[in-house]
A and B are shown apart, each in its own frame.
Chain A
Amino acid sequence: MKIRYLVIALVVFSISSIFIGVSSIGLTDIFHLNEFQQQILLHSRLPRLISIIIAGASMAICGLIMQQLSRNKFVSPTTAGTMDSARLGILVSMLVFSAANPLFRAGSAFLFALLGTFLFMKILDKIKFKDAIFIPLVGIMFGNIIGSITMFFAYKNDMIQTITAWLQGDFSMVLSGSYELLYISIPALFIAYLYANKFTIAGMGEDFSTNLGMNHKRVVNVGLIIVAIATSVVVLTVGVIPFLGLIIPNIVSIYQGDNLRSNLPHTALLGAVFVLFCDILGRVLIYPYEIPIGLTVGVIGSGVFIYLLLRRKNYA
């Protein structure tokens, strides 16, 4: 697959995304919009498009980095407790400082996501039995434990509704003023690109990295920080998007290999295109109502995931 096709797909889907919705804006209206249409475009359609692109690209890249650092193709923010930890962080920030501003909330989510992922990597170090399927199972269990802690405290404090809102990813609530936090993810992704070669080397193990004179621990830590930043802002603004970090990097790896320097742009683009596609699908299927993105990505993603598992014999 050429990167050109991904760019074309992204442009086509982006344009259709802008013109799909309950209040109709036609392609031809674009040069003489009335005030209402202008408002819709600027405060709803464009923010939605931007957040989809950033969130899709971020989650796919987070998955790629995590898979590389843990040396396991089935590790991702959803299968390593990162997302669940971020949610626990959001809950804690709401419990402790009820009127916390968004940046503070993001900070708390980031801290918990980082700690959770770090803990998971530590558990990985301790496990002797490094089976490809066993490790993500441990991660899912770990995530569920954290998730149940979150639920427990949410029940006790009557916050179930608020916290479940972050359980399922949803772009329909994205309006200007509520999504700008996502921009934090962009510099993080840029740093990821600068570190691409180092992540690739880190993926070949500590001995391999040391031989090339690279500080393995430091590179792993940088990777985890990037993952925690991107995951926490995505969970905060759109919610959990399952499977994305898992399937996109795997698909790219099959046709493109594991060299991150050339992989990252493909992964980011494919992630954005995939989420855009799922979002458009969710908006069209039961028009004028919407299926939340968490559901569409979950259904299509789990299908792709099963396919990846089945073809594992010759790969991964």
Chain B
Amino acid sequence: MIKVKNLSKKYNDKAVVNNVSVNIKKGKITSFIGPNGAGKSTLLSAVSRLIKHDVGEVMIDKKEINSWKSNELSKKVAILKQSNNLNVRLTIRELVSFGRFPYSQGNLTQEDWAKVDEALSFMELHDIENQFLDELSGGQRQRAFIAMVIAQDTEYILLDEPLNNLDMKHSVQIMKVLRRLVDELGKTVILVIHDINFASFYSDYVVALKNGEIIRQGPTNEIIEQGTLKEIYDMDIPIKQIDKCRVCVYFA
């Protein structure tokens, strides 16, 4: 379990994350939502040691994040930041094999390659595994990066806006994969996401941030609710129930 306690992070005296406490449940999808500049990405980066927090603590499986060895932690927690600016010429298979770096330091054993193959099949990438990343579409590329994270074989998978720049079809595809990661492989997924309808459809828990503070957190259906959304976004967002799903109509 990941426990965040009284966490703060300042940039030039401005608190980007301010006194945040949150517990992330194992085996669930937790979405961080909130307006731009709310501190969602910073919180995610602090939980994955990409940035150092100033005050407070992040406990990962009962051990403070700073006392983890970086290499050990990379077998426990994987973070995928927005990757569309990477123009590196690797094939999908090569990229995915780098997911095994924490275990093999680059000299992959047969077992490592088996994990790479598993990840490729899970993401249905075997057909195009020898294509270069810079020749792929945005959706294929995102799937390749997720395959790498799967090969990394961590309990926790953190994603920063994984749907950025993807069309509807690919967005749905990615969210379904994340759901399968949790339901079939028992992973814990935490993601920063802007589209509240995707959060509503696919996540188990929602954490809402605003101005660096958590203003609401709880099971999805408690947060996706007109009064709460008003509080988060300063917008009147009517919510329609369609079958079992709550849809936020935020266009007008």
A residues at B contact (CB < 8 Å): 71, 196-198, 200-201, 203-205, 207-208, 210-215, 253, 257-259, 261, 315-316
Selected from B70, B74, B86, the residue in CB contact (under 8 A) with A205 is B86
A315 touches B134 (CB 8 A): yes
B79 touches A207 (CB 8 A): yes
- Min Cβ gap B219→A in Å is 29
For this complex, 22 residue pairs linking A to B, each with C-beta atoms less than 8 Å apart, are A197-B105, A197-B106, A201-B101, A207-B45, A208-B81, A211-B50, A211-B78, A212-B74, A212-B99, A212-B101, A212-B102, A213-B70, A213-B72, A213-B73, A213-B102, A214-B101, A253-B89, A257-B89, A259-B90, A259-B91, A315-B134, A316-B87
Question: Does B152 have its Cβ within 8 Å of any Cβ on chain A?
Answer: yes
- Min Cβ gap A265→B in Å is 16
| Chain B hits for A198, CB < 8 A | 106
| Chain B hits for A208, CB < 8 A | 81, 86
Selected from A197, A207, A259, the residue in CB contact (under 8 A) with B101 is A197
A207 touches B98 (CB 8 A): no
- Min Cβ gap B75→A in Å is 8
B residues at A contact (CB < 8 Å): 45, 48-50, 69-75, 78-81, 86-91, 94, 98-99, 101-102, 105-106, 132, 134, 152
A257 touches B132 (CB 8 A): yes
A213-B90 contact, Cβ under 8 Å, with A207-B79, A257-B132 = no
Identify which of B49, B88, B94 gathers the most chain A CB atoms within 10 Å of its CB: B88
Determine the distance from Cα of A201 to Cα of B74 in the docked complex, in whole angstroms. Answer: 14
Selected from A196, A197, A203, A207, the residue in CB contact (under 8 A) with B88 is A203
| Chain A hits for B89, CB < 8 A | 253, 257-258
Closest to A130 in B: B85
B98 touches A201 (CB 8 A): yes
Identify which of A196, A258, A261 gathers the most chain B CB atoms within 10 Å of its CB: A258
| Chain B hits for A204, CB < 8 A | 86, 88
Judged by DSSP, the binding face of A is: loop
Since A203-B88, A212-B98 are in contact, a sample of 6 more A-B pairs with Cβ atoms closer than 8 Å, ordered by chain A residue number, is A201-B101, A213-B70, A213-B71, A213-B74, A258-B90, A259-B90
Determine the distance from Cα of A211 to Cα of B80 in the docked complex, in whole angstroms. Answer: 8
Closest to B79 in A: A211
- Min Cβ gap A200→B in Å is 7
Selected from B73, B80, B90, B105, the residue in CB contact (under 8 A) with A257 is B90
B79 touches A200 (CB 8 A): no
B94 touches A215 (CB 8 A): no
A207-B87 contact, Cβ under 8 Å, with A213-B102, A215-B70, A257-B132 = no
- Min Cβ gap B60→A in Å is 14
| Chain A hits for B91, CB < 8 A | 257, 259
Determine the distance from Cα of A213 to Cα of B49 in the docked complex, in whole angstroms. Answer: 10
- Min Cβ gap A314→B in Å is 9
A259 touches B94 (CB 8 A): yes
Determine the distance from Cα of A239 to Cα of B141 in the docked complex, in whole angstroms. Answer: 43
